[in-house]
A and B are shown apart, each in its own frame.
Chain A
Amino acid sequence: MDDTRTGPMDDTRTGPMDDTRTGPMDDTRTGPMVVACIRITDLRPQIEPLSGTVVREPWSTGLSPADAAALEYSFRIAEAWSGHVVVITAAPPSADAVLRDARALGATVLRIAVGSPSSDQAYVDELGSDERAMAGMIVAALAPLGRPSLVVCGDRSSDRGTGALPAFLAHELGAAQALGLVAIATTDQESMVVAERRLDGGWRERLHVPCPAVCSVEGAGVRLRRASLTATLATQRTEIPQVTAAGGPGAIRGAGSVGPAEVAVGSVRPFRPRTRVVPGPDSDDPRLRLLALTGALVAHDPPTVVGPIDAAGAADALLTFLIRHGYLDTEPVGEEAAHEGTR
C-alpha cells in the first residue's frame, strides 16, 4: 500500500488497483449519505460446556441476518436516492474481511478500532460497556464524512442484542427513530422513508419516517447482494480505514435545537378472510348428526399432491382450492382482485 491512512477524512481508496473498478464499485460519494451501522461477530462461537468459555474464531466472523438486512436496505435506499453508502462498525481487525466485502459492493467502509476481546473477561467488559458512549464515538467518526440522511442498523446481533444502540445513535444525531422494522422503502420525497413493523396478531403498522432517521431492521425478507468477482478481487488487499476510539458523546448534534421530527404511524391490515358460519347438521337423530359431522359415509376427494411448483403457482393453487370449496368469495379481494382480474 502506498501509505497508511487512518483518518476518516481520507479517501478510503488505497492504491492504484481500485482505479479499475466499474459499476457498483464507483463510489464518488455524491448524494445523500446512507449509513449501515453493523456489528461483526463470530456467528457460531464455540462454548465449552463445562467452563462456559466462549471461543471466537476470527475466520468465522460474519454478519447476523439482521445486520445483513440492514446493509442490503442501505444499498437499496442509496440506489433509490442516487446516494452513497457508508458502512461503519466498531470491531477488532478480524472484521476487515466483512468490511472488504462491503467495499466490493461499493460502500465506503470505516472501522472504529476496539480491542479484540481476546479473553472472556475482555468480552464481558465490552458487553458491559456504555452504548451511549459507543453511539457518540460512531457519530464522531461519521462527522467528517457528512451528515447521514439515514442510519440503518440490525435490530439484534447474535452475541449482544440489547438493541439500544440505534436509539442512542438517534439521540446523538438528533434524528427520528423507527426500530425493529421488517421493511424500509423510499417515497417520492427524499426527506421521507416508509417503513413497516410487525405488531402482535399478524398486524403491521406502516410508519412515515422523516429523515434524518435511524432505523433498525429485522433479519427477514431480504438477502444481502453479492459483490462481483472483479470487485471482490480488487478489494482483496484494501486497507480498511481505522478510527481510534476517540471523541465522545455530543461531538455533533442534530441541526439546531429542534428535537427530532415525529414518526407518523399509519397502518397496514393483514389479509384476513371472514369466518364462514357452517350450519349444524339438521336432523333429530343423533346418529345421523354424528355421521353428518364426521362425514364418515361421504365420499371424499383423495388428497392431491400438487408437485413442486413456484410460489406464484402455489398461491394460485391454494386460491383455486379455497374458492372451489367456498372458503373464498369468487370475487377475490383487494390487490389479489386486481391481480386475478388481469388473468
Chain B
Amino acid sequence: MGKANMVPAASVSSDTPVFDAVVVGAGPAGSATALALARAGRSVVLVERGPFPGSKNVYGGVVYGRVLDDVVPEWWNEVPVERWVVRRSTMMMTGTQSVSVDYRSAAWGEAPYNGMTTVRSRFDNWLATKAVEAGAQLVTSTVATGLLRNAQGRIIGVRTDRDQGELRAKVVVACDGVNSFLAKEAGLMAPAQASHHTLGVKEVLDLPGHVIDERFGLRGDEGIDIEMLGCTRGIPGGGFLYTNSDTVSLGVVLSLTHLAEAKVRPEELIADLKNHPSIAPYLRGATLREYAAHLIPEGGYDTMPTMITDGMLVAGDAAAMTLAAGLWLEGVNFAIGSGLAAGRAVDRAIAAGDCSAKGLASYRSDLEGQFVLADHKRLRKAPHLVLSERIQQRYPGLICDLVDGMFTVTNPVPKQGGLRVTRSAAAKHGVKLRQLAADTVRALRVFG
C-alpha cells in the first residue's frame, strides 16, 4: 500500500476529485488505461459492470499482442493463450463452392509471435489483474450509470448503481464498449446508427484438441484463423472460424441495417455456414459449448466520436476502434493501444495540472502517431469498399466460377482460354470487366 490508492473519506460532498482517474469498463482498453495510470503512480478506480472482467465481451478471431511489448515484457510467457495463429486463410464462397488463399508462417509460431486466439474471460481477467497488481482498484458488478458534472457543467466523475455510488476524479476514461452510454451522454458520440455497426454472432464448439490438430493440419499450440466472404446470403458481412485449444469458434458478422431488411435470423446464417461443404467436414461431431452475440463498431475512422472533452477521454470500442477492413479484423490490439495512450495522456495532464480538453490533447496526437489511428486513417475507406454490393454479392461467386472454369475438366469439349472464362464468369454474375478493373484500382488505393 502506501501508494496513491488510499481510500478517500466516505462522504465527500464537494466537487473535490478523490481519485486521479475513474476508468469505466475493465475490458482491454480500460485495463490498459488503468495499468498505465497505476504504473505512473496515479490513483485509479476501474469500474466493471459484469461479475468479472471479460464476462460481457466477445471477439472474433485473433488478438495481436505485440502492443503489450513495452508494458508486459515477454507477455507471451504468461498471457492466457489458446493457440498461436500460424495459418491465415481467406475463403471466398458461394453456397456450394469455395476458393481459399492460405498463408502459413513458421515465424508466427515463435516468440514474439504474431497473433493468438484466446478466451476473453481469461484474457481480460489477466490484463485486469495486471492493472490491480500495479495498484489500480477494480470494482466489479457495478454499472456506471451517468456522468457527474459540477455547477459549470464540467465532467467531474461518474455515478454508479451502488449506494453512495459517486466516484469523483480528475479524469473519466470511458472504455464502456460499443454502446458507450457515457460517450453519448457527454455529447461526444452521435446517437447510435445501425449503419455503422455490425452484429457478430458466434458459436464455440467443443472438439478434442487432437482432432483439431488433424483436421486443420496443426501441431501443439499452433492455430488457424479463417476469414470468409460470400457466406451470408448477400447480407454484407462475412464469416470467421478460428481454433482454440479444444474448441473451435465459428461465427458470422452481419451489417445491422441489411440484417434487419433481410428478415433473416442470425443463427440461421451460422447454420448455413456450418452446413457449407467447405466447413462442415471440419466440424463433424462438434457440440455447442456457448453461443454469443455482440455488436462491432465498424464505421471506421470517419465515424469515430470526438475522443476528448474536458475531464474525459474515450477509448476502445467506445471510440469505434475496431478495424474491420476485410483482410484485417482487429480490435483488441487497438483497444489496448488506445487505453495505454489514454493512460499516458491522463498522467501528463495531471502532471501539468490541466485536465481540460486542451490538457488531454496529447491523447489524439499520440494515437495519430502510432498504429491505432494511423491504421484507421489509412484504411478509412475500407469498410465502405468491403461492405459494398459487388464485393459482397458478386465477386465471391465470380471468383469461384473462374476457378471452376479453369479446373473443371470438360473433355471432350476443349478447354476455354483464361480471358474467355473470366468474361463468362463475370457476365454470369453481372459484373463488367470495366467494373472489375475499377474495383481493383479502388482496392489498391484503399489497401495499397
Contact = CB atoms under 8 A, between A and B. Distances in A.
Q: A and B: partners?
A: yes
Contacts of B51: 60, 62
A60 B10 contact: no
Contacts of B10: 20-22, 230, 234
A17 B5 CA distance: 10
B139 interface: yes
Interface residues of B, number: 30
Given A59-B52, A226-B163, A228-B163, A234 B7 contact: yes
A17 B142 contact: no
A22 B11 contact: yes
Contacts of B206: 48-49
Given A227-B162, A228-B164, A229-B142, A49 B137 contact: no
B245 to A, nearest CB: 11
A325 B125 CA distance: 58
A50 B208 contact: yes
Interface residues of A, number: 24
B45 interface: yes
Interface in B253-292: 287
A333 B311 CA distance: 61
Contacts of B164: 228-231
A232 B139 contact: yes
B57 to A, nearest CB: 13
A299 to B, nearest CB: 38
Most chain A beta-carbon neighbours within 10 Å: one of B6, B137, B164, B246: B164
B7 A228 contact: no
Nearest to B160: A229
Nearest to A61: B52
Nearest to A46: B289
Contact of B162 (A49, A59, A62, A229): A229
Interface string B114-130: 00000001100100000
A45 B322 CA distance: 31
A116 interface: no
A236 interface: yes
A236 B166 CA distance: 17
Given A22-B11, A48-B246, A229 B163 contact: yes
B444 interface: no
Contacts of A236: 7, 137-139
Interface string A230-271: 111110110000000000000000000000000000000000
Nearest to A101: B141
B187 interface: no
Contacts of B142: 229, 232
B167 interface: yes
B409 interface: no
B121 A1 contact: no
A82 to B, nearest CB: 21
B191 interface: no
Interface in B119-164: 121-122, 125, 137-139, 141-142, 160, 162-164
A49 B289 CA distance: 10
B170 to A, nearest CB: 17
Nearest to B140: A97
Interface string B32-52: 000000000000010000011
A108 B142 CA distance: 23
B419 interface: no
Interface in B178-221: 206, 208
A229 B167 contact: yes
Given A49-B206, A60-B52, A229-B166, 20 more contacts: A20-B8, A20-B9, A20-B10, A21-B10, A22-B10, A49-B287, A50-B208, A57-B121, A59-B52, A59-B121, A60-B121, A228-B164, A229-B139, A229-B160, A229-B162, A230-B10, A230-B163, A233-B45, A234-B7, A237-B1
Ranked nearest first, the 10 interchain pairs of A and B with the lowest CB-CB distance are A228-B163, A229-B162, A228-B164, A229-B165, A59-B52, A230-B164, A17-B7, A22-B10, A230-B10, A59-B125
7 contacts: A59-B53, A59-B121, A228-B162, A228-B163, A229-B160, A233-B137, A236-B139
Interface of A: 1, 15, 17, 20-22, 48-50, 57, 59-60, 62, 226-234, 236-237
